[in-house]
Structure 1
Amino acid sequence: MSSHSAAPAPSDRGPVAALLTRSAILRLLLGWVSVGALTLAAPLLAGRPSSAVLALVLAAIVAVIVVAAGGVVRQAEALARRLGDPYGTLVLTLSIVVIEVVLIAAVMLGPGDHATIARDSVMAVSMIIMNLVLGLCLLVGGLRHGSPAVHRVGTSAYLVMLVALAALAFALPATLGEGGRYAPVQAFVIAGLTVALYAVFLWRQMGAQAAEFQEVTVPAVGTPGGRATRPDDGTAPLSLRRIIAVHRGELLARSGLLIATVLPIVLLSHHMADLLDDASDRLGAPVALGGVLIALIVFTPESITAVRAALAGELQRVVNLCHGALVSTLALTIPTVLVIGLLTGTPVVLAASTTNLLLLAATLAVAAISAAAPRVTAIHGAVHLLLFGVYALLLFR
């Protein structure tokens, strides 16, 4: 008998009752009550409220979306643990991408000219994830645990994906397309090739190369080096069909709870887009600031998880979270936005400025050099934080 059998699974105690914790109920209530309140207040907000009221309502919407997004990520992580790889990772990745795409589409299809919102959002994600979050994780991890190691082969796989996908997203539209955007045929082909590459990456990551994305263990005496190993609890992994058969109740309940938690985000995003456009006009805020806001909303829960992993000394998990988040954003969000643009006739400008391209190239170069080292240190983290500081400065130039 497995050691895990002593603790009853949520399905053993009734899946719905077990999953409706106080936290889950509060997130649901907060989300749906906010949707109802904004629906009732829509006529008042349409009458151009004062700047103070506008800022207060916008801040409240953002806070609710962040809380709801945290609930979505929590349910997605639970499903990921239950389903196992690669299916669980797909659930978690798709949940985050859905939230990001919903927010980008709401702004892109809303009032005003937001042809660059996808570019601004994904560029902000790149800088926040790869410089702010990764830099902070390397800094605190290095200060607390010395010089931890990562699996260089797996990290290299992430980085080659990032270099190729970033070039397709931000550099090629300036040379292949017109006005910084792909032509319709080009957008269709690029979207298809990008998704196909990501499918190959997932197939290898969750299959033959799975060990290259696991924590590096300290080598034993007489062994050639550290290896990533799976913990052995004496039980063989169950097939997907068997997992669904055994835990059907829990899987259905968690899926329903995930959907019920993500729906308020979809509904609130429309209100957020309208108010964000109004607030930007009044404040004269940089156009890219909307993209930064979306990036912060989407990746705050995952960023907290990454910092906790760094404090625990799980640096490979930090790499998987940060690099994996950006790979999924470039490989899934960009193609989805391109398809939305094709279907709705909305222009999608992706070409980045020379300054941002240079900053992104420096970011990926620093990440590659750090990954090539036998161990990473707090200095590597400090350099990433420096690059984020420069990006933040450039937002207001």
Structure 2
Amino acid sequence: MTVTSRLGDTARTVLTPAAWLRLAIGWGAVLALALAGPLLEPPVPGPLLVGTLAVIVGVILLCAFGVVGEAEHLARRLGDPYGSLVLTLSIVVIEVVLISAVMLGPGDHATIARDSVMAVSMIILCAVVGLSLLVGGMRHGDLEHNRTGTSSYLAVLVVLVALAFALPAAIGTDGSYTGGQAVVVVALTVVLYAFFLWRQTGAQADDFREVDPRVRQDSADGDVGASLGETFAAHRTEILLRAGLLVVTVLPIVLLSHDMAALLDDGLGRLGAPAALSGLLIACIVFLPESITSVRAALAGEVQRVSNLCHGALVSTVGLTIPAVLVIGALTGQQVVLAESPANLLLLGVALVLSVATFAGRRVTAVHGAVHLTVFAVYVLALFA
């Protein structure tokens, strides 16, 4: 078989008719929403509002399952933590770029980073982790995770979250860091995140792999014993095609979720719901592919992959978003308010302490999942207070 025919066979395997259809529907919806902009300016007639939101959610779900499929193929081929990182960084980087674009646009967006990252933090630490542990524990019983890797995630998260939300209230001005303080915080955050990523993908990669030999064997379709470089060299075309397809399928999800923000604000405003609920729903939609992947991993007994997806996503979100918005604020003269309210700080602190307690033992259970979900329910309740 010639090289050209092998490349063609690989491309046909990855770029299936279903994949092309998802791309056409996803990007078609993005284009349609852009063209219909004037018709969807608030106040939007009720039937049109509900219909548009239903279509957007349907398209997002369609694209999300495509993303999940590609992410799982990459995870099997590359192994963890590399497979999970592809999905995590794809979503987080796009999200950070869009938040940065909003800050560079007209209007006052002093709290956009704080509100977005806070919502993501509670969704990941409580809702997604909780649901994953609940369904995984109900199916498999106690699940053994890699304590060294999980504790590394949580140690980094405790510091990054404190820098992002707690410290500005204590040493900043009106909830914002001063210029000099922002420089130090940006430097510390970037260095810590970069060092963590370097160690995670290098010398400490084994700390982020499954410890149960049966799960570890079942979750690896790649060449047993091969290094990342050897695997990439042997399957370069497939890996690049799947990674590219994942990114271009993720992008419509993120774009559509941000485009529907105004529609959600309009609809929830008519219902008298709190404004923060819209941000929570948008964050849920943006991280939908990662949430689905995490639950599927838990159902397969891959609890360390749940940690890699969830905790890894939050480390990347905080580690990339906070420096980006602080730099933009310094360059444009905008105020960047990061300090959270006492109630949100309390709930975020509870979520972090609970996470440390949950993953301190060798095994996690369905009970841990139920407790995490309870904290998320309290967070939603607090939104209406």
Query: Matches of 2:377 and 2:228 in 1, distance apart?
Result: 46
Q: For residue 237 of structure 1, what is the aligned residue in structure 2?
A: 226
One of 329, 345, 348 as aligned partner of 2:317 = 329
Q: For residue 33 of structure 1, what is the aligned residue in structure 2?
A: 28
One of 369, 375, 384 as aligned partner of 1:387 = 375
One of 170, 175, 178 as aligned partner of 2:173 = 178
1:321/1:46 CA distance change after superposition, 3 Å: closer
1:289/1:234 CA distance change after superposition, 3 Å: closer
1:56/1:391 CA distance change after superposition, 3 Å: same
One of 277, 294, 312 as aligned partner of 1:306 = 294
Query: Matches of 2:298 and 2:32 in 1, distance apart?
Result: 39
Between Structure 1 and Structure 2, how many residues are aligned? 382
Q: How does 1:239-388 map to 2 (within 5 A)?
A: 240=229, 246-265=234-253, 268=256, 271-279=259-267, 281-388=269-376
1:183/1:82 CA distance change after superposition, 3 Å: farther
Following superposition, the deviation at residue 276 of structure 1 comes to 4.2
1:375/1:239 CA distance change after superposition, 3 Å: closer
Q: How does 1:103-142 map to 2 (within 5 A)?
A: 103-105=98-100, 113-142=108-137
Query: Matches of 2:363 and 2:228 in 1, distance apart?
Result: 36
- 3-state secondary structure, aligned to 1:329: helix
**Structure 1, unaligned runs of 5 or more:** 1-7, 220-226
1:204 and 2:237 aligned? no
Partners of 2:30 and 2:252 within 8 A in 1: yes
Query: Matches of 1:164 and 1:228 in 2, distance apart?
Result: 34
Query: Matches of 1:270 and 1:67 in 2, distance apart?
Result: 17
TM-score normalised by the chain length of structure 2: 0.84
Query: Matches of 1:277 and 1:140 in 2, distance apart?
Result: 32
Partners of 2:125 and 2:311 within 8 A in 1: yes
1:148-177 per-residue CA deviation (whole Å, 9 max, x = no partner) reads 222222221111111111101110111232
**Structure 2, unaligned runs of 5 or more:** none
Partners of 2:56 and 2:256 within 8 A in 1: yes
Partners of 1:122 and 1:291 within 8 A in 2: no
Query: Matches of 1:143 and 1:60 in 2, distance apart?
Result: 33
Following superposition, the deviation at residue 344 of structure 1 comes to 4.2
Q: For residue 187 of structure 1, what is the aligned residue in structure 2?
A: 182
1:393/1:86 CA distance change after superposition, 3 Å: closer
1:71/1:346 CA distance change after superposition, 3 Å: farther
Following superposition, the deviation at residue 211 of structure 1 comes to 2.3
Equivalent AA in structure 2 for residue 396 of structure 1: F
Indicate the percent of aligned positions where both proteins have the same amino acid.
62
What RMSD, in angstroms, separates the aligned Cα atoms of the two structures?
Answer: 3.5
Partners of 2:10 and 2:238 within 8 A in 1: yes
Equivalent AA in structure 2 for residue 327 of structure 1: V
1:340/1:77 CA distance change after superposition, 3 Å: farther
Query: Matches of 1:377 and 1:235 in 2, distance apart?
Result: 30
Partners of 1:72 and 1:262 within 8 A in 2: yes
Partners of 2:74 and 2:239 within 8 A in 1: yes
Query: Matches of 1:148 and 1:266 in 2, distance apart?
Result: 32
Partners of 2:165 and 2:345 within 8 A in 1: yes
1:298-340 per-residue CA deviation (whole Å, 9 max, x = no partner) reads 2211112222222222222222222222111111222223334
1:120/1:238 CA distance change after superposition, 3 Å: same
Query: Matches of 2:317 and 2:374 in 1, distance apart?
Result: 23
TM-score normalised by the chain length of structure 1: 0.82
Partners of 1:212 and 1:228 within 8 A in 2: no
Equivalent AA in structure 2 for residue 317 of structure 1: R
